[in-house]
Structure 1
Amino acid sequence: MNDVSREKRWQDHFPRLFPRYALLACLALVVVSLGVVLTPARPPEPAEPSFSEQARAAALTETLRLKAAGSRLVTAVQDGSKPPPASLDGGSEPAGNPAVERTVTLLTTQAQALRMPGETDSEAAGASATASDASPPAKTAATATASPSPAGTPVAQAPATAAALVAALADSGRQRLADAAVADGGMARLLAAVGTAQLLRASALAAETGTTAPPSADVAFPKLSGTCASEPAQAGSSRATGSAESAAGDATAASPAVPDAAVPDAIHSAGTQSGPETTPAGASEAAALAAVVQTEAEAVYSYQVALPRVRGAAAASAAEALARHDELLRGAESLSRRLCLAVPPREAGYALGKSFLASPAAGLGKLEAAALPVYGDLVALSEGETRQWAIAALYSSGKRSVHWGADPGALPGLDSASLPSPAPLPSG
């Protein structure tokens, strides 16, 4: 009886208490919703820098470090004071000649090319630290084994002597070339240019200051492997083969100067953007290889003409360079066949100006320097073994241009129109 009466009372009270329960439920819902709204959302994780950005940041940081070290050497000589003890064993004190100043100017120009638009040195250091904290992206064994050098962690001591600066320049140049083999097209071209110039400058600085030359400065050519795909695949690539023939013909007609053919510059910026680059119509790996074949064919002919006109050590150097260009020509033709591309036919001869015949050594220097942008195109537009071969050929051509008295510049392989203005020597 009591249970029945208790249930009856609850049934009588519930209609009166229902609005209170509903109000409490609404208040609880409002409190919960306010808590959700007022809680700040977790910021998204920053995107991991690409390999190209990591490599650019590392190159910029190391270039700025080397430039600062060179500037300190120049200041120490100008003030008549001795620099701090060397960071590396051996070496001599800076001799005070313009060699270190030329090195600083070159590194200043390279830093300008590596810096992103509007980026300051402090921002560059921050970008380098971010890039160094990020793990490099996975790379297949077929691409390369390079990884960007730690950008945010400078060496404990900066190079304090000319000998130390030579060694550091050579180490940085090798790392830049290793990164160029893996980076994206435009950035690969810029890194290859920076690395080539740093290696060449390391050798020149050693000779000009009387210090020990960097060991193993040469860049090895890869052993090319593989053949063209099967016959059905070749049939499917006939359009690419035809475009290669057309590109080669267009390049020959467009550039009568030495060298006879040159692919239009594929990257008109200095390569500071790691994203997609704007390339002119017709710029492709096939066109770049066709230009290399024709450039090397003309180089072989030019050296054959120059060889009887030089004497002594110059004759020996010309003969050695002729053999190297013959190897490069055969290598470029082999690469074309491996990619199922038509090999441009060799010409019977090329027109050489009177200035070349009158001064063949200077003409050979101009010839080698003119080949640098052609190889820069191939670096930007190729990948894998082809790019590694192009990087080695770029350095080899730069080395020969220096030998014949030509200046490859601070960024060999980049079109002169895309380069930053010549950098003045910083004071202090």
Structure 2
Amino acid sequence: MLSPTRRTVLFLGALTGVQLLCGCTDEHGPDAPTAEHHPDQDLPLRTRAVAATDALLAGYDTVLAGPGAAQGDLLRRQREEVAQHRSALAQGLPAATGATTTGATATAAASPTGSAPAPAPAPASGAAIGTVAALAAAERQTATDRLADLDAASPALARLLASVSAAGALHATRLGDTGPVGAPAASPVPSAPAAAPTPGTAPAASGAASGTPAPLPSAAAAGAQSALAAEHAAVYGYGVACAFLPVGRPRDDGRTDYLAHQARRDAWERLLRSGGTGPTAAAAGYRLPFAVKDQATAGQLAAHIETRLTTVYADVVGAGTGPVRLQAAGALRESVLRAARWGAAPSALPGLPAPADTSASPSLSGSPSASPSR
């Protein structure tokens, strides 16, 4: 069975024990370059994201005015969250650009010559989103499009895009669209292609020629180690929770999530090894944030673990690049969906502090804030 046997205790706050250097720092200190000499690389990305958000908001308004009356409470709640997304994405934009615009206009404004990657496909206009099903599909597609700009974004914007994408995936699911969000699959650090040897010479012994992966940058390696530590703790926590979940769907769901965290843990270990870094081993044991003694508290623990993982993964998105950033964004989305299934309170920007909250990421101490849906 999955019940724990390890004795040495280490606080389960490993799930939130890291404030990563790259993802959470202020990029606008006194030594920051001026906009005149260094154009904001995030400007076209933010403008494009705002345009897509405007299309979603128009779609919510269209559906609420017509066929969405039966789901009015859910739609209004999600529309408010989308409005919060827009406000966060528009920060730093010129007033005219940050104002509500049509998708076509903002997409054109988002792509000045030579300033950004090719834009994602233009979102559907609000007028084209006339049903709940169409709105759900638009949420899912927009969640996918957010991820297309992750690599080009600054650490702070990457965290925001990953959070908004995860929230959009949950919106789509709640509206009945459970199709996959098109996040790239987790993958190891790519190796450099082997160079063809020059005739008459011995093959080069370099890492590139032998296919050895390039080392992970230090910040990305630190982020991956933090994610691995969090997954070690999550596996332990789910082991406890599963021991108290009754046979049937609750235990099946717990077992599925337990195995998913094992797989995610293994993926981080592989990525670290492929980047030349030794993975951190699991602790001998972990102390839970509250006593687990029945189905209700087991469900609360699962919700608590997933909610705290969103904070970890938002920070890893900011610290990492390439496969680390992509893997963290996918894990953030998965934790948002699992947290909702276990009854966690929703957040407009999962993994990020509330706008009025300037404190550090919360610890796992204290009582859980979620009520299990079991």
TM-score (norm 1): 0.61
Q: Determine whether 1:172 maps to 2:168.
A: no
Is residue 404 from structure 1 mapped to residue 342 from structure 2 by the alignment?
Answer: yes
Rounded to whole Å, the distance in 2 between the matches of 1:195 and 1:163 is: 18
Q: What is the CA–CA distance in structure 2 between the aligned matches of 1:47 and 1:363, rounded to whole Å?
A: 50
Distance in 2 separating the partners of 1:200 and 1:362: 19
Q: Check whether the contact 2:44–2:115 (CA below 8 A) recurs between aligned residues.
A: no
* Alignment pair present for 1:162 and 2:132: yes
Q: Residues 253-302 of structure 1, C-alpha deviation per residue, up to 9 Å, x if partnerless?
A: xxxxxxxxxxxxxxxxxxxxxxxxxxxxxxx3333222211110011111
For 1:73, the equivalent position in structure 2 comes to 63
Alignment partner, residue 104 of structure 1: 79
| Alpha carbons of structure 1 residues 101 and 184: separation in structure 2 relative to 1, 3 Å | same
2:188 counterpart residue number: 224
RMSD after superposition: 3.4
Secondary structure of the corresponding residue to residue 95 of structure 1:
helix
Q: Distance in 2 between matches of 1:355 and 1:121?
A: 53
Does the C-alpha gap of structure 1 residues 367 and 417 become closer, same or farther in structure 2, counting only changes over 3 Å? Answer: farther
1:49-87 deviations in Å (ceiling 9; x for gaps): 76532221111111122113313433x2xxxxxx3xxxx
Aligned to 1:95: 70
Structure with a larger share of its residues in helix: 1
Measure, in 2, the Cα distance between the counterparts of 1:387 and 1:373.
14
Q: Deviations over 1:138-192 (max 9, x none)?
A: 76xxxxxxx43366x8638341221221111111111002222432221111111
Counterparts of 1:156 and 1:64, CA distance in 2 = 8
Write out per-residue CA displacement over residues 75-134 of structure 1, whole angstroms, 9 at most, x where no aligned residue: x2xxxxxx3xxxxxxxx6542430111111111111111112585576445793553442
Q: 1:297 aligns with which of 232, 256, 266?
A: 232
* Aligned match for 2:53, one of 63, 70, 77: 63
Report what 1:8 is aligned to.
none
Decide which moves more: 318-327 or 337-346.
337-346
Find the aligned partners of 1:399 and 1:320 in 2 and give their Cα distance: 13
Preserved contact between residue 56 and residue 191 of structure 1 (Cα < 8 Å): no
Residues matched between the structures, number: 298
Please give the secondary structure, in 2, of the residue aligned with 1:97.
Answer: helix
Determine the C-alpha separation between the residues in 2 that align with 1:103 and 1:203: 12
1:309, distance to aligned residue in structure 2 (A): 0.7
Residue 53 (structure 1) aligned with residue 43 (structure 2): yes
Following the alignment from structure 1 to structure 2, what is the Cα–Cα distance between the partners of residues 418 and 296?
Answer: 29
Between 317-326 and 181-190, the greater mean CA deviation after superposition:
181-190
Q: 1:310 to 1:124 in 2, by over 3 A?
A: same
Cα separation, partners in 2 of 1:121 and 1:357, compared to 1, 3 Å: farther
* Structure whose CA Rg is larger: 1
Structure 1 residue runs of 5 or longer lacking an equivalent are 1-45, 77-82, 84-91, 140-146, 207-212, 231-236, 245-283, 421-428
Distance 1:222 1:131, change over 3 A: farther
Would you say the 8 A contact 1:69–1:159 is kept in 2?
yes
Gaps (5+ residues) in structure 2? Answer: 1-35, 193-205, 208-213, 359-374
- State whether structure 2 residue 91 is matched by structure 1 residue 116: yes
Residue type matched to 1:191 in 2?
L
Out of 279, 289, 294, the residue aligned to residue 343 of structure 1 is 279
1:373 corresponding residue in structure 2: 311
Corresponding residue number in structure 2 for 1:395: 333
Deviation for aligned residue 1:356: 3.6
Decide which of 382, 386, 398 is 2:320's aligned counterpart.
382
What amino acid does structure 2 have at the position aligned with 1:172? T
Determine if contact 1:94/1:162 at 8 Å carries over to the other structure.
Answer: no
Name the CA shift for 1:113/1:389 in 2 (closer, same or farther; >3 Å). same
- Percent identity over the alignment is 26
The structure-2 alpha-carbon separation of the partners of 1:404 and 1:218, relative to structure 1 and needing over 3 Å to count, comes to farther
TM-score, reference length from structure 2 = 0.70
**Aligned partner of 1:148: which letter?**
P
Letter in 2 for 1:388: L
Q: 2:172 aligns with which of 183, 202, 215?
A: 202
